């Protein structure tokens, strides 16, 4: 028997924006770390 995928929680605009902002911070940190690794590889 297959389970249905979980639906995202329904939240207010402020909560959604706060979570989105936190995710953006993590994504930027990930990008900068990848750039630093690539720069070290080129040295």
Residuewise pLDDT in 10s, the chain (43 residues): 678 888 989 999 999 999 999 999 999 999 999 999 999 999 9
CA distance 39 to 4: 43
How many angstroms separate the Cα of 24 from the Cα of each of 7, 10, 21, 37, 43? 22, 20, 5, 20, 29
Per-residue model confidence (pLDDT) at position 1: 63
pTM of this structure = 0.68
């Amino acid at each position: 028997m297959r389970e249905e995928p979980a639906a995202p929680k329904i939240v207010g605009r402020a909560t959604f924006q706060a979570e989105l902002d936190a995710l953006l911070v993590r994504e930027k940190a990930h990008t900068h770390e990848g750039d630093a690794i690539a720069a070290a590889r080129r040295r």
